[in-house]
Structure 1
Amino acid sequence: MKKFLALFFALTMTTALLGGCGSKSTEAPDSQAETTKTEETTKTAETTKQPAAEGDLAFYEGNTIIGQSSWIGFAPMYLAEQKGFFKNHGADVSIQLFESKTDSKSALMAKRIQGMSTTIDTHVLNKASGMDISVVLALDTSAGGDGLIAKSDLKDVKSLAGHTVALDTTGGASYFWFQYLLQKEGMTLDDVQAVNMSSGDAGAAFIAGEVDAAVTWEPWLSKAKETEGDSVMIDSSATPGIILDALAMDNDFIKSYPGTVRAIVSGWYDALDYIKSNPEDAYKIMAEYTGNDSGDSLKAAMESEIELYDEAKNLSYFETDIYTIADMASELWIDMGLINEVPDSKKMITGDYLERLK
């Protein structure tokens, strides 16, 4: 019996030792399992909270706000919000109306909004003023959608000398384009009586007879053509490629949530597809945003006065052209003394988010 007990004890110890030196046990005490699970959950939660590493597609769980005016070239953004195209790609996005470039700039600087749609020249000004932003998407170029409307006795830009001209002098397409027109004629803003107001208000003020001329956009260009004694002196079709609209976003947001940025870009592409496949519904929705009388009038304006940039055009445009326009704007602002240093267009423009999410 003693020999048997000794043998049994020896076998038991050997088995225990072999078990300790072998592979990991498939069972663990409940407390150990719970501890392991808690640690893993904590790590997962911490990873989720951290900004994404470059190349990761992290998405912002809150509401992303893009500020923009009622310009017809921005209308597809509103369409994408209304039709849920952003949400289809995992982003909750709202479009907020800002007719004043100063207001939208202030909101972006204060991080009340995360992105801003405006002209590339305005993005250059904002970047030069110290805003930490990057252009991530080209939206459209004006091909007749912006214009200088004037009384019929004013025949050309030089004839505006001494006359009242309403325009948004805080920046944006109207300001940049008008400065470009003046510079071509050897003039400056001091040669006219500039009246500062938003582009929409400028058009309305001109139609009401309160100013001699105005730099504005649709639907005010069409209204000027219909009003006796008024005319469109020149529109952006005479200056192709000068007025370019683009979306810029806060760099901290871009780095933390690249998935949301790509979702916004993808939603824009989806909106352009929807305009082609369901034009009646698309233009009806966008007309509500732009203030056009009807979807038909907006359709006519968008088809004849702007060129929208889809994925193929963006991928091509970001190879060289967008940098050329940004550099041209920088040179103009330097010549006018509005900025002291030219922003590096290669650093303020990125094509990393242009491919559509599947």
Structure 2
Amino acid sequence: MTKLSSRLRTVALAAGVALAAMSTAHAGSMKLGMTTWVGYGPLFLARDMGYFKENGLDVDLEIIEDSSLYMAAVAAGELDGSASTIDEIMKYRSKDLCFKSVYALDDSHGGDGVLVTSDIKSFADIKGKEVAMNEGSTSQFWFEILLKKNGMTNKDVKITNMSADDAAAAFMADRIPVAVTWEPHLTLAKQANKGKVLIDSSASPGVIVDVVELSCDYIQKNPKDVEALVKGLYKANELIKSDQAKAYEVMAKGVGGWLKDPKDFASSAAGVNFYGEARNKEFFKDGKDGEAGKLVTLGGEVWSSMQKLKMDVKYDDIVDTTFLGAK
């Protein structure tokens, strides 16, 4: 009896060790930096619902309200990657700093806009006006596209460099007649009956697209972790579709800041399109000739015209679709 009990304990111990080995067979970690933005909610949703963890990945999400700082952290190896717009990260891509987009999170569909005083009736009326915006940011990228669309250049306006928050504050204080900013400032201006939103990003769909970019070294060394990231985000987007209220509650708490109230999160979320599995595959379909490829080309044209690029960035330099088929 004693021998049998001993044998059973040995078998049980061996089984426990085997199960533990299976559960820890893939245990990775990833650290990402980003600003406070509603479109990054799915990252927090996947983290807090355990979707990353169930695929063996721990994800640390760090809010850093300056793209130059989180990209510097990526360059220094302190972060594995970031969430940012495609155009934004293009400015940091160089022969010394290699990173690629592995997943598209969202596009701004009304979340960015141009605030103007009531006397400005059309985009042409901006000519000669002082415009506050964050130079070198996605706000300037988008504004450059609007200028070109309306037959103008940045020489037709007087650009004052401010953060999106400061630009909105200056507009609300009547110090600036035009401000390129984003939510919640567009809504706050409407609520205060302060000027108007002349145009928002719903007029240019697919131009302001947020992605998760990871360093090339991380991708090469941790393919299972990148696959786990994509799986987790796919599942998070399914929850957004099946139980939006629950998803928004979790994302609001996770993102925090001015989005910590689920009602504010929901209001801001109305200005973005979240990208799930189907949309990712559609967006990156056809490579350099598809939507993503054309956006990279557009980013190259805009930033190179202002000497903002460190290298001639091509589609394959900044995109890796290897993991989008993750199941």
Q: State the TM-score bracket (shorter-chain normalisation).
A: 0.7 to 0.9
Question: 1:344 offset after TM fit, Å?
Answer: 2.0
**Secondary structure in 2 matching 1:85:** coil
Q: Does 1:298 align with 2:265?
A: yes
**Partner Cα distance (1:129, 1:195) in 2:** 31
Question: 1:341 offset after TM fit, Å?
Answer: 4.3
Query: Larger deviation: 209-218 or 68-77?
Result: 209-218
**Partner Cα distance (1:128, 1:235) in 2:** 31
Q: Which residues in structure 2 correspond to 1:106-125 (within 5 Å)?
A: 106-125=72-91
Amino acid at match of 1:137: Y
Partner residue of 1:337? 307
Q: Does 1:69 align with 2:35?
A: yes
Question: 1:59 offset after TM fit, Å?
Answer: 5.3
Partner residue of 2:223? 258
Amino acid at match of 1:240: P
RMSD: 2.2
Question: 1:114 offset after TM fit, Å?
Answer: 0.7
Q: Deviations over 1:140-195 (max 9, x none)?
A: 11111111112111223333344332222132x21210111122334333443333
Question: 1:256 offset after TM fit, Å?
Answer: 0.2
**2:91–2:310 Cα contact (<8 Å) kept:** no
Amino acid at match of 1:351: T
**Partner Cα distance (2:95, 2:132) in 1:** 25
**Partner Cα distance (1:229, 1:129) in 2:** 46
Q: Which residues in structure 2 correspond to 1:208-219 (within 5 Å)?
A: 208-219=173-184
**Secondary structure in 2 matching 1:136:** strand
Where in structure 1 are there 5+ consecutive unaligned residues?
A: 1-57
**1:66–1:114 Cα contact (<8 Å) kept:** yes
**2:42–2:251 Cα contact (<8 Å) kept:** yes
Query: Larger deviation: 131-140 or 335-344?
Result: 335-344
Q: Which residues in structure 2 correspond to 1:10-159 (within 5 Å)?
A: 61=28, 63-128=29-94, 130-159=96-125
**1:118–1:245 Cα contact (<8 Å) kept:** yes
TM-score normalised by structure 1 residue count:
0.76
Partner residue of 2:167? 202
TM-score normalised by structure 2 residue count:
0.83
**Secondary structure in 1 matching 2:56:** coil
Q: Does 1:309 align with 2:275?
A: yes
Partner residue of 1:272? 237
**Partner Cα distance (1:328, 1:219) in 2:** 27
**Partner Cα distance (1:194, 1:285) in 2:** 38
1:170 to 127, 130, 136: 136
Q: Deviations over 1:323-344 (max 9, x none)?
A: 1111121122223333374212
When Rg is computed on C-alpha atoms for both structures, the one with the higher figure is 1
Amino acid at match of 2:85: T
Distance change >3 Å, CA 284–CA 205, structure 1 → 2: farther
Distance change >3 Å, CA 110–CA 341, structure 1 → 2: closer
2:292 to 313, 322, 330: 322
Distance change >3 Å, CA 128–CA 329, structure 1 → 2: farther
**Secondary structure in 2 matching 1:127:** coil
**Partner Cα distance (1:101, 1:175) in 2:** 14
Where in structure 2 are there 5+ consecutive unaligned residues?
A: 1-24
Count of aligned positions: 297
1:224 to 178, 189, 193: 189
**Partner Cα distance (2:145, 2:249) in 1:** 34
**Partner Cα distance (1:59, 1:164) in 2:** 54
Runs of 4+ in 1 over 6 A off after TM superposition: none
Amino acid at match of 1:193: K
**Partner Cα distance (1:82, 1:145) in 2:** 24
**Secondary structure in 1 matching 2:219:** helix
Amino acid at match of 2:210: D
Partner residue of 1:356? 326
**2:93–2:311 Cα contact (<8 Å) kept:** no
**2:139–2:180 Cα contact (<8 Å) kept:** yes
